[in-house]
Amino acid sequence: MMEHLAQILMLLSVAVAVVLAFQQVHIPTSLGYLLVGVILGPHTAGPTVHVPEFEALAEFGVVFLLFTIGLNFSLPQLHALRHQVLGLGTAQVGFTTAVVGITVWLAGLPAAAAFVIGAVFAQSSTTIIGSQLAEQGEENSPHGRLGLALSVFQDITAVPFLVVIPVLGAAVGAGVLAGALGWAMIKAVAAFALVFFVGRWLLRPLFHLVAKRRSAELFTLAVLLVALLAAWTTSSLGLSLAFGAFLAGMMLGETEFRHQVESSIRPFRDVLLGLFFVGIGMLIDPAAIPRIWHWAVLGALLILMSKTLIVAAMVRSSGIDAVTAWRTALVVAVGGEFGFALLAIALDAKLIELHLGQIALTSVLFAMIAGALLIRFNQAIATRLAGIGHSQTHGFTEPLPQAPTPQVLIGGYGRVGHAIAILLQSSGVPFMAFDTDPKRVAQGRSAGHQVLYGDISDPELLAAAHAERTSLIVITVDRSATALRAVSALRGACPQVPIIARARDLEASAQLLDAGATHAYPEAIEASLRLGATALRMLHVPGDDIDLILQGVRDWGYLPVVEEKQEPGS
């Protein structure tokens, strides 16, 4: 036990140092975890970490990754994506897998291994694409949105690969292979039907029951239970663990608990996915790179060039201008970390031998590094490839049908939050509200408001809800401690967004303002001011004068009212 503890401490120390350094220079942390694996792996000098349980834990990183992806792609959303992205995404994965697979098959690889290499090379890194585009301010550009949508759709199309690859490793003859694949697809459909119907009938009532307890610990336990139970179900049917988690995520993605579920699972996903990348890094042998570097470079070029040419041709043929098509292709060209997951499954199934696995691993790694540079300079490269000196966007159609981004985020859907929601709805302002009372959530949704279950003071929930994209945040919760935590979390997550907060009294108002609220209105004093304003109007005092008086009191921090109250006889 002490030996394992020392190795765990060593792993955590190196991981913290490397990830901190990578984040300082804005390099995706997935590459940092790969480097940690290389440093602590058996192929490099120095200490080596070997804890047998890590391999099992790392597999759950992929399980939770697919669970999170499922949350973002519920059945209604998949139906909305059935046109442009669905067609382009399917064609990109299919054509890239076929082109790369046929190329390496003609080079002498067995058909099954060639298929795996094609599937691995077809993947793109959603992590790198998303972080790089956000850093460059291009995440909402036409090429950024389309490229990111295609990369996320690849994660969905990777699910059939999770079913097919283990079968390829077990099958021998063509007849046996066809029968095994057919049986695997039948089991996949059965698993989908089982999770779908059970999810529809049980998941929402279960989470309503759990949410009533208002226990973050119980909610997290329920999320883990659902994700792992679904994974165990598909695994029992001979399919992958990740496939079941993806299906469970899809079912929960249709419920009002989606954002809170994502925030609860994110810490487990990030840590375990980091362990997965560490495990992949341990497979990389730096000493083998001098012997295989030319094959790895050729593999990286095959990844980058095949996806660039295929995606550019497909996007261009859909009516989008040349510059946007090339920029989208350069964004998607990057190698993908999910290819590592497929490669690890293939190696475990003995579908490809270790030397070829090293070449494929190194090729994807090179393509991830070079692909990040292509994203960085995509505009300059695209304009040269298109042969024109300026960008045009005529003919572009929105690639990702989605609900409008909420302009206002409301924390708390009680009496005050409900009133604000009605005012916003009457004004045509899109909003999203969160509350930890499932009854209030149900009442809000029955009234046609976008009310979801979640704790507005949870930083992970704010990240899942993209609070930084809103124009205004209104905190209406009646608990001062919760409101204070929410304002502090919001000010750290989205410092540019103004925050209006409800306060019980002047002391709570001052604390909220110190925590970062733009305005914090003490409701007791505000009620007195509204009463006084009504009295002045009945006495025929001009409305403009009343507004000036009230604003003057607020501008002075309510001191005139408070000082009057403190005088004897008040």
| Bridge partners, 411 (sequence order) | 434, 475
CA 275 to chain centroid, in Å, comes to 18
Handedness of CA 172, 174, 175, 180 (dihedral sign): positive
Provide the pLDDT confidence category of residue 58 given band limits of 50, 70 and 90.
Answer: confident
Contact partners, residue 361, CB within 8 Å, separation at least 6: 280, 283, 284, 340, 343
Q: Length of the chain, please?
A: 570
In the chain, % of residues over pLDDT 70:
86
Gap between the Cα atoms of 118 and 413, Å rounded? 50
Gap between the Cα atoms of 134 and 529, Å rounded? 45
* Contact call for residues 499 and 475 (beta carbons, < 8 A): yes
Show the 3-state SS of 459-489: HHHHHHCCHHHCCEEEECCCCHHHHHHHHHH
Q: Which of 186, 148, 144, 139 is nearest to 69 (CA)?
A: 148
Return the domain boundaries, the chain: 54-264+285-386, 408-566
Gap between the Cα atoms of 460 and 291, Å rounded? 44
Model confidence at 398: pLDDT above 50: no
Contact partners, residue 67, CB within 8 Å, separation at least 6: 227, 245, 246, 248, 249, 265, 269
Model confidence at 92: pLDDT above 50: yes
Gap between the Cα atoms of 554 and 556, Å rounded? 5
Amino acid at site 319? G
Residue carrying the six token digits 């120095």: 46
Q: Which of 296-305, 347-356, 422-431, 490-499 has the lowest mean pLDDT?
A: 347-356
Instruction: Please state the rounded mean pLDDT for residues 99-118.
Output: 92
pTM of the model: 0.71
* Contact call for residues 241 and 63 (beta carbons, < 8 A): yes
CA 173 to chain centroid, in Å, comes to 41
Residue carrying the six token digits 């076929």: 98
| Bridge partners, 499 (sequence order) | 473
Q: What is the pLDDT of residues 429-452, one digit of tens each?
A: 999 999 999 999 999 999 999 999
Model confidence at 567: pLDDT above 50: no
pLDDT of residue 386: 84
- C-alpha distance from residue 451 to each of 70, 82, 222, 444, 471 (Å): 21, 27, 21, 6, 18
pLDDT of residue 566: 47
Gap between the Cα atoms of 367 and 123, Å rounded? 11
Q: Which of 366, 304, 368 is nearest to 333 (CA)?
A: 304
For 128, the token pair is: 């790198």
Instruction: Please state the rounded mean pLDDT for residues 81-95.
Output: 77
Residue carrying the six token digits 């307890």: 213
3-state helix, strand, coil in the chain (%, to 5): 70, 5, 25
Gap between the Cα atoms of 346 and 182, Å rounded? 19
Name the helix (H) or strand (E) containing 452: strand 451-453
Q: Which of 143-152, 358-367, 395-404, 548-557 has the lowest mean pLDDT?
A: 395-404
Amino acid at site 280? I
Residue carrying the six token digits 């403009």: 544
Show the 3-state SS of 260-329: HHHHHHHHHHHHHHHHHHHHHHHHCCHHHHHHHHHHHHHHHHHHHHHHHHHHHHHHHHCCCCHHHHHHHH
Q: What is the pLDDT of residues 228-254, one digit of tens each?
A: 998 888 888 777 787 788 888 888 888
Gap between the Cα atoms of 48 and 37, Å rounded? 9
Model confidence at 303: pLDDT above 90: yes
Q: What is the pLDDT of residues 2-11, one digit of tens each?
A: 667 888 889 9
In what order do the strands lie in the sheet containing 472-475?
A: 451-453, 431-435, 408-411, 472-475, 499-503, 519-522
Model confidence at 565: pLDDT above 60: no
Contact partners, residue 384, CB within 8 Å, separation at least 6: none
Gap between the Cα atoms of 89 and 149, Å rounded? 8
- C-alpha distance from residue 219 to each of 103, 257, 486 (Å): 49, 10, 19
Say whether domain 54-264+285-386 belongs to CATH 1.20.1530.20.
Answer: yes
The DSSP result for 221-274, as a single string, is: HHHHHHHHHHHHHHHHTTS-HHHHHHHHHHHHTTSTTHHHHHHHHHHHHHHHHH
Backbone angles phi, psi at 410, to 5 degrees: -110, 125
Residue carrying the six token digits 């993605």: 253
For 256, the token pair is: 């009002």
- Classified by CATH at the fold level, domain 408-566 comes out as Rossmann fold (3.40.50)
Q: What is the pLDDT of residues 304-357, one digit of tens each?
A: 999 999 999 999 988 888 999 999 999 999 998 778 878 888 888 888 888 898
Q: What is the pLDDT of residues 187-232, one digit of tens each?
A: 778 877 887 787 778 888 899 999 988 898 999 999 999 999 988 8
Listed in order, strand segments (DSSP E) in 172-218 are none
* Contact call for residues 32 and 274 (beta carbons, < 8 A): no
Provide the pLDDT confidence category of residue 477 given band limits of 50, 70 and 90.
Answer: very high
pLDDT, the chain, mean: 83
Output 73 or 503, whichever has higher pLDDT.
503
Angle 478-481-485 from CA coordinates, rounded to 5°: 110
For 11, the token pair is: 């792993």
Amino acid at site 30? S
* Contact call for residues 14 and 3 (beta carbons, < 8 A): no
SS3 of residue 71 by DSSP: helix
